[in-house]
Amino acid sequence: MRMIFAGFDSMIDDRADGSMGYVDGYLVPVPDDNKDAYRAMAAKASEVFRDHGATRVVEAWGDDVPDGKITDYHRAAHRKDGETVVFSWVEWPDKETRMAGWDKVMKDERMQHDPNDQTFDGKRMIYGGFAPIVEA
């Protein structure tokens, strides 16, 4: 009853050469009216991540996201009416590349955020780093 599951429509699936050995995952609620602006921002960010070592970036718009009995994506992301939860991940070859890559991403001028940009509420973003336990 505590498992969270849902379906998401991939908006961006950018791959670079290399394998996946570490993953950053995140959820963020995005106002429905900002879908195109979010897609544009995500496409720019994907290029930056891949330029700094990421092997894949996926951004997926909520498509079949059910309400749960105990918890769900909506509650986890504090989604409000008129918003959709975006589920995304960044694949890295290993944790060391990820740590070095994030440092470069945060310093990259292409990632400098306009404080007036309200594409999404970053305070409600959920994120974390994950080591794979099953690989194909």
What pLDDT digit, counting tens, does each position of 98-135 carry? 999 999 999 999 988 777 778 888 899 999 999 988 76
Domain of 53 in residue numbering reads as 7-130
CATH of the domain at 44: 3.30.70.100
The structure's pTM equals: 0.84
Assigned domain for 19 exists: yes
Q: Is residue 1 part of a domain?
A: no
Please give the share of the chain, as a percent, with pLDDT higher than 70. Answer: 88
The residues of the chain scoring below 50 in pLDDT are none
| 51 domain-assigned | yes
Q: Is residue 135 part of a domain?
A: no
By DSSP bridging, strand 7-15 and strand 56-64 are antiparallel
Q: Is residue 136 part of a domain?
A: no
Domain-located, residue 2: no
Number of domains the chain is built from:
1
Q: Give the DSSP per-residue string, 63-131.
A: EE-PPPSS--HHHHTT--TTEEEEEEEEEESSHHHHHHHHHHHHH-GGGPPPTT--SS-GGG-EEEEE-
In a domain, 27, yes or no: yes
Amino acid in the structure at residue 17: D
